[in-house]
Structure 1
């Protein structure tokens, strides 16, 4: 019997290492991510979660290791070998990055519609009517009223800014989205609404996502797999329910028990 061919990973992270002086922020991190899969990276503050995301995004240069990505033409390429122009094009089209602080992911002096439309212009769309119509459609999808399309994000609440940032990132139909603590600092009710929206869009669009979070409830709600980090190292990884319901590593057990005790 011929075994069915397994799909190639969308992303392959191998041996990523980063030092800041004597501190080891990431120590040989490796994993693969399949199309449509959601991976949660969890751990306490200072565990290396956000550094890992910055390394994958190419915002921080790794001391060692590689990040490879399967392009739309089916060819897997080492991202470090891409030109600056190609890397920027990839981040404008096939990748998204939702920041913890929405002010870092939005143009705060540009209107809500302009923030969404700017990414469309980055992929070559120059038809104003089509860009505005698409922006209005995406604002509706993230529950922002059409009459706010010309308002700048400075007039938006924290939750609205995050929803706008998501619209800005998803408008070009990326295949991979990085999320860094997207619900941190928001009120509980706002968090719940945002998480429900993220979960719906991820399922609808078949997105592959790497989400960094300190909140195990967020990991359980959104992710298929969990990667637990401590002091720059991967302590435990596996299917989300298996890891959170039956943690094997002492550190993971401590994380889970601290949530249960709260």
Structure 2
């Protein structure tokens, strides 16, 4: 890992009127590190993810990102165009519902190719061959390159969304319940695939999940949230094997009791 973080989050808060979305969240994320944010529904984890990825403007606090040239930029002081460029190039966002992260009316190859064109690739042959290579990496056959995502199963759509996000070799990927809504057997394959790709590419990732098994498999470090606040954080194995906060103990024991 690099000596310098990739992302610095300081006292981040988001309020919806009197209701707390998240409050006073601070952490650093290093290049190549996978951080899981866990908690039950309504814990604030998705609000936090949307603030980190600039989909939501926070009520207070700051998030700074280290650009490729080493310069630190406050994400909320960047222009809308600069943030959009980051989302197309340096970042990826994997939605729980793949239809939210894909263009359903164009082909699988076009979904992957669009990201390449966003970083300046213009040669049709190169775009198509790279798309075929990436479809193969996510276990989609080359014969499906001209099929639209609407002809794919849920698991295939999610794998296509992952290929679309990773084809530009982003430095940071946000994942919102990436295995939510999938059958258990499909989840297992997808998690195995994700873990391999994240390791191979050296990606940093922030993964929101309510599933502690997903957090354990994918992440090195974990943040546990309840009612918009961080109640515990640390190395994933330590937190899940020896939880200290009563809420984390309850989460872990409820999984064991199933």
- Residues 1:64 and 2:44 are matched in the alignment: no
**Partner Cα distance (2:34, 2:185) in 1:** 23
- Assess if the C-alpha contact under 8 Å between 2:57 and 2:76 holds in 1: no
Equivalenced residue count is 258
Using the TM superposition, give the Cα deviation of residue 83 of structure 1 relative to its aligned residue in structure 2, in angstroms: 1.4
- Residues 1:144 and 2:140 are matched in the alignment: yes
Question: SS of the counterpart of 1:106?
Answer: coil
- Residues 1:224 and 2:234 are matched in the alignment: no
Question: SS of the counterpart of 1:254?
Answer: helix
Listed one character per residue, the Cα deviations across residues 159-192 of structure 1 (whole Å, up to 9, x for unaligned) are 0000000000000000100000000010000000
Counterpart residue number, 2:71: 75
Counterpart residue number, 1:3: none
Unaligned runs of 5+ in 2: none
TM-score by length of 2: 0.99
TM-score by length of 1: 0.97
- Residues 1:27 and 2:18 are matched in the alignment: no
Using the TM superposition, give the Cα deviation of residue 259 of structure 1 relative to its aligned residue in structure 2, in angstroms: 0.3
Which consecutive aligned stretches of 4+ in structure 1 deviate over 6 angstroms post-superposition? Answer: none
Using the TM superposition, give the Cα deviation of residue 124 of structure 1 relative to its aligned residue in structure 2, in angstroms: 1.3
- Residues 1:93 and 2:89 are matched in the alignment: yes
Using the TM superposition, give the Cα deviation of residue 130 of structure 1 relative to its aligned residue in structure 2, in angstroms: 0.5
Alpha-carbon RMSD = 1.0
**Partner Cα distance (2:90, 2:127) in 1:** 18
- Pick aligned residue for 1:128 from 107, 124, 127: 124
Using the TM superposition, give the Cα deviation of residue 225 of structure 1 relative to its aligned residue in structure 2, in angstroms: 0.5
Question: SS of the counterpart of 1:258?
Answer: helix
- Pick aligned residue for 2:10 from 11, 14, 20: 14
Using the TM superposition, give the Cα deviation of residue 127 of structure 1 relative to its aligned residue in structure 2, in angstroms: 0.8
Question: SS of the counterpart of 1:185?
Answer: coil
- Pick aligned residue for 1:41 from 20, 37, 41: 37
**Partner Cα distance (2:106, 2:16) in 1:** 35
Unaligned runs of 5+ in 1: 1-5
**Partner Cα distance (1:43, 1:83) in 2:** 32
- Residues 1:244 and 2:240 are matched in the alignment: yes
- Pick aligned residue for 2:210 from 207, 211, 214: 214
Question: SS of the counterpart of 2:93?
Answer: strand
Listed one character per residue, the Cα deviations across residues 82-106 of structure 1 (whole Å, up to 9, x for unaligned) are 1111111111111000000100000
**Partner Cα distance (2:195, 2:238) in 1:** 20
